[in-house]
């Protein structure tokens, strides 16, 4: 393809010179790798948990329930990129303590953990507990930070910035691979566009980026319909649509009492909805791709 629109299209020359490690070597090249016994690229992977690790009780409760339902990974931020700097006791990061609770939940319920790190100084602490380090949207192009995360050699999930092109996203992923860290998962979490159908929806889930990414890269790609829709009633349909589009996994915000979630209370689903959605995602993945999520239960 001629690179007529720099910043948008990706030419064969770009694939060779700008992201040779992220680029597919041939049409059927898709990498698969195991993280804590979960095989990315081969089975449909689910991540579930609250937006924020609000308390010890909350994270233990969620770990127990989502594990029982069939989630592969427990998610939850102890370090959170919160849009405004003001805090109250309910709306507060739990930071080091939150990481400790994640570690406790992981051991107690035998579920691996994915959690975000935002500052270089906390990388060792987070890497000790996390099975996958999450790089948040807002840090997608913080190259020295990405490089420092990559050097831990822990698996990394790189969330797409909501204003980023596929080209820039893959360029950021290349920064991880170039450090010799090959366990990289991409996560589409919604892009910022003028029209999002509802005033509560800040973002639009870019489902097209799933096949677009799969044309170019062998890396697994996960969708996050919770952050993308910002609206729990749409999470089910967008999860199923994401799987139909070919996503390798789904990250979902799950909370025992969604309306009282400390952060973004409009987007999490409860355990019952999560259970029903997992069953439907499993059925769909089996029909379309002969992949399963529930074989490990
Ligand atoms: C999150 O997953 O908790 C999160 C903050 O997501 P994002 O970086 O996509 O906004
Ligand atoms: Mn969030």
Report every protein residue that has its C-beta within 5 angstroms of ion ligand 2.
51
Which pLDDT band, with edges at 50, 70 and 90, does 103 fall under?
very high
Digit-coded pLDDT (tens) for 71-100: 999 999 999 998 888 887 777 899 999 999
Q: What is the CB < 6 Å shell around ligand 1?
A: 51, 77, 81, 116, 136-137, 159, 189, 227
Q: Reply yes or no on whether the pLDDT at 9 is more than 90.
A: no
Q: Which atom of ligand 1 is nearest to the CA of 159?
A: 9
**Which of 275 and 295 is assigned the larger pLDDT?**
275
Ligand 1 atom at minimum distance from 189 CA = 9
Task: State the pLDDT at residue 190.
Answer: 97
Mutate to test the pocket of ligand 1, among 161, 189, 209 (most ligand atoms within 8 A of CB): 189
Question: For position 4, what pLDDT does the model report?
Answer: 61
Residue with more model confidence, 153 or 289: 153
HEC string of the chain equals: CCCCCCCCCCCHHHHHHCCCCCECCCCCCCCCEEECCEEECCECEEEEECCECCCHHHHHHHHHHHHHHCCCEEECECCCCCCCCCCCCCCCCCHHHHHHHHHHHHHHHCCCEEEECCCHHHHHHHHHHCCEEEECHHHCCCHHHHHHHHCCCCCEEEECCCCCCHHHHHHHHHHHHCCCCCCEEEEECCECCCCCCCCCCCCECCCCHHHHHHHHECCCEEECHHHHHCCHHHHHHHHHHHHHCCCCEEEEEECCCHHHCCCCCCCCECHHHHHHHHHHHHHHHHHHHCCCCCCCC
Q: What's the chain's average pLDDT?
A: 94
Lowest mean pLDDT among 9-13, 17-21, 267-271: 9-13
Residue 199: its pLDDT value, please?
A: 80
Examine the pLDDT at 297 and tell me if it is beyond 50.
no
Task: Give the pLDDT score at 89.
Answer: 77
């Amino acid at each position: 393809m001629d690179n007529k629109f720099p910043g948008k299209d990706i030419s064969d020359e770009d694939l060779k010179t700008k992201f040779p490690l992220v680029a597919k070597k041939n049409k059927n090249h898709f990498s698969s790798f195991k993280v804590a016994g979960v095989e990315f690229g081969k089975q449909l992977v689910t991540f579930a948990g609250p937006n924020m690790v609000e308390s010890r009780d909350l994270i233990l409760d969620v770990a127990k329930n989502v594990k029982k339902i069939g989630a592969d990974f427990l998610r939850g931020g102890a370090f959170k990129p919160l849009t405004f700097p003001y805090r109250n006791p309910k709306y507060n990061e739990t930071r080091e303590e939150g990481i400790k609770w994640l570690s406790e939940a992981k051991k107690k319920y035998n579920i691996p953990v994915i959690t975000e790190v935002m500052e270089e100084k906390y990388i060792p602490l987070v890497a000790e507990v996390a099975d996958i380090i999450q790089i948040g949207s807002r840090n997608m192009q913080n190259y020295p930070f990405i490089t420092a995360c990559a050097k831990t050699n822990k698996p990394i999930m790189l969330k797409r910035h909501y204003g980023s092109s596929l080209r820039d996203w893959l360029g950021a992923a290349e920064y991880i691979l170039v450090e010799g860290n090959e366990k990289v998962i991409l996560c589409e979490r919604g892009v910022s566009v003028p029209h999002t159908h509802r005033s509560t929806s800040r973002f639009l889930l870019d489902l097209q980026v799933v096949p677009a990414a799969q044309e170019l890269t062998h890396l697994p790609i996960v969708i996050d319909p919770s952050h993308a829709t910002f609206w729990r009633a749409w999470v089910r349909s967008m999860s199923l649509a994401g799987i139909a589009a070919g996503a390798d996994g789904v990250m979902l915000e799950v909370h025992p009492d969604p309306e009282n979630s400390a952060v973004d209370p409009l987007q999490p689903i409860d355990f019952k909805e999560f259970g029903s959605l997992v069953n439907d995602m499993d059925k769909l993945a089996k029909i379309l791709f002969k992949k399963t999520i529930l074989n490990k239960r």
